[in-house]
Amino acid sequence: MGAVMCGIIGYLGKNNALPVLLDGLRRLEYRGYDSAGVAIQNNGNVAAVKAVGKIKELENKIAGKNIAGKLGIAHTRWATHGKPSEANAHPHTDCAGEVWLVHNGIIENYQPLKKHLESRGHKFQSETDTEVLPHLIEDLYNGNLTETLQKVLKLLKGTYGLAAFHRAAPLIIRD
C-alpha cells in the first residue's frame, strides 16, 4: 500500500490564523486530497468550516464569514476510513466541541476504541478512524491537553501526524 499522506497545519501567533492556514492548504494541494477543513479558536469559541473538493470550495464556503482568531488548525484529507464527505472531513471534535483535532494517517485499532467510547456514551458524527481521538481526549481530559494527549497516544496502534487544540486553552503568544 502506498503511503499517501495529505496535510496538516497549525497556527498560533499574532496574526489572524485563517489566511495563514488557507495559504498553507494551497501549498499542500500538490499532495492530492479529497476534502479540506479549518477550525479557528477565538475567545473560547470555535468556528469550523469543511468542504468536499478543492481548497477553492472551502474558500467559497468561508467567503463572507468573519472568522477571526489567532489559533487554528487545518487539514487536507485523503480518505482511508469513511467516504469523502463533509461529515468525514477534518477537523474532528468531541461530544462537547471542546477538543479540535486534525490527523494524517490511520488509527488501526479504532474499532475497539470506538466501541469502548460508545459504551461510555460518546456520540460519533463521522465514519472516520480519526474521530476516536477527540473523544478519547475528552474521556481522559485532566485539564492539560499535552498530558492527556500523551496518555491517548499510548492507546493507539497505527500512524499519525496530529494537531489539536482545546477551545478553552489560554493563548500564550510571545514577541
Give the binding-site size for ligand GLU (rule: CB under 6 A). Answer: 15
Q: Does 133 bind ligand GLU (CB under 6 A)?
A: no
Stretch that binds ligand GLU, among 10-18, 61-69, 80-88, 115-123 (CB under 6 A): 80-88
DSSP β-ladder status, 35-42 and 71-77 = antiparallel
Residues 98-127, interacting with ligand GLU (CB under 6 A)? 103-106
Whole-angstrom distance, CA of residue 111 vs CA of residue 90: 19
Q: Does 128 bind ligand GLU (CB under 6 A)?
A: yes
Within 3-62, which residues bind ligand GLU (CB under 6 A)? Answer: 6
Task: Spell out the alpha helix ranges (H) of 54-174.
Answer: 55-62, 110-119, 132-140, 145-153
160 touches ligand GLU (CB under 6 A): no
14 contact partners, CB below 8 Å, separation of at least 6: 70, 173
Residue closest to 99 by CA, chosen among 127, 74, 136: 136
Work out how close the CB of 133 gets to ligand GLU at its nearest, in angstroms, rounded to a whole number.
10
Query: At closest approach, how far in Å is the CB of 57 from ligand GLU?
Result: 17
Q: Please say whether the beta carbons of 5 and 79 come within 8 A.
A: no
User: Nearest distance from residue 139's CB to ligand GLU, in Å?
Assistant: 20
80 binding ligand GLU? (CB under 6 A): yes
- Separation CA 14–CA 12 (nearest Å): 7
Q: Which three cell numbers stand for residue 173?
A: 503568544
> Which residue reads 494517517 in cell numbers?
105
Regarding 129 and contact with ligand GLU (CB under 6 A), the answer is yes
Return the number of the residue (36 or 71) whose C-beta is nearest ligand GLU. Answer: 36
Least distance in Å: CB of 172 to ligand GLU?
29
- The C-alpha cell of 149 is what? 494527549
Query: Which parts of this chain interact with ligand GLU (CB under 6 A)?
Result: 6, 77-82, 88, 103-106, 128-130
